[in-house]
Amino acid sequence: MPAFSLDPDRLAWCAELRTRADRQLRPLADQGEPGRVNRPLLAELGRLGLLSRLFTSGALDLCLTRESLARSCSEAETALALQGLGAHPVHTHGTDAQRARWLPGVSDGTTVAAFALTEPEAGSDAAALALRATPDGADGWRLTGDKCWISNAPEADFYTVFARTEPDVAGARGVTAFLVPADRPGLTGAALDMLSPHPVGTLRFDAVPVTAADVLGEPGHGFRVAMGTLNLFRPSVGAFAVGMAQAALDATLDHTAHRKAFGGTLSDLQTVAHQVAEMALRTEAARLMVYAAATAYDEGAADIPLRAAMAKLLATETAQYVVDTAVQLHGARALRRGHLLEHLYREVRAPRIYEGASEVQRGIIASRLYAAERSQGGH
């Protein structure tokens, strides 16, 4: 069902991508080991030119890519998204030398990137970062502290790391973004046993050396790097969620149309038909909001943080509802290992937490609305 007046070329490209994902990426995903980086899958994403598109396409195309992949192969979608999240700060804020060193490998799927923001005591409150960057020499620092819940850790080849370079400055100010190769002395990591198809781990920084050549952007302005990245990727997290919701809806339509029950099919039961209608309604509403937020980003609109938060919130909460309802309408068969819905049921939960939990998105939305009210002199 076309939405948002997408042009025929984009619709055709999305259909082709879903086919390629099903035929070329799904088999590689199935051969992967849960909790490990699937490097053959990454290499195939690179060969198909999808990773290089992370640095040449706008937000709407990123959303269309993630949604299309999610409908056929959520593992491929996540692998692509993590490459983008970890490497986007290098693309937008890196030096020529940094981009030349790292982005070609990210684009062809041979270099694994990671975005290292979250800490044990700084998850939803990202401004509470405690990883210390202590001055070391004329233009260097030593990083000391921990990061946790980091996707692709400890297997990534480099990390975009956010550390506090000005300890006396509280909140978002005084944070610097660094590009830290995985082989730096003093940097170690450990895998966490998570409900996740990709690695999630911890990182420990024991006086890890970094210099001015490793800074992304400007010292003291790392929070701007982080939020700029999240403003781009939050709508596309919503697109991932929409893709999963659509996959669950497609499966439910097929199942309820053919499943015999009570002298007819499940679709003949009004309660079932109305549930399916609600699933479709919510999925399409979330899709439209995601596309609108992505378009606003591409056009440089002033309200991007508000739209990004709304899109991620609505889409991820919608996907949770749609997948849960799909499981209910399928019955016990949906909970068998290997069933599409069993897979989606596990996958759909995490997006409501990462890149800003639903509660954080509501806070962003409310603060933006009240700030606009104050600026207009409201009473």
Active site residues: 355
What's the Rg (C-alpha) of the chain? Answer: 21
Residue 86 near residue 159 (C-beta atoms within 8 A): yes
**Cis amide bond preceding 199, omega within 30:** no
Q: Which residues contact 250 (CB under 8 A, 6 or more apart)?
A: 71
Sign, CA torsion 169/161/36/62: positive
Asked if 283 and 246 count as a contact pair (C-beta separation under 8 A), the reply is yes
- SS3 for the chain is CCCCCCCHHHHHHHHHHHHHHHHHHHHHHHHCCCCCCCHHHHHHHHHCCCCHHHHCCCHHHHHHHHHHHHHHCHHHHHHHHHHHHHHHHHHHHCCHHHHHHHHHHHHHCCCCEEEECCECCECCCHHHCCCEEEECCCCEEEEEEEEEEEECCCCCCEEEEEEECCCCCCCCCCEEEEEEECCCCCEEEEECCCCCCCCEEEEEEEEEEEEHHHEECCCCEHHHHHHHHHHHHHHHHHHHHHHHHHHHHHHHHHHHHHCEECCEEHHHCHHHHHHHHHHHHHHHHHHHHHHHHHHHHHCCCCCHHHHHHHHHHHHHHHHHHHHHHHHHHHHHHHHCCCCHHHHHHHHCCHHHCCCCCHHHHHHHHHHHHHHHHHHCCCC
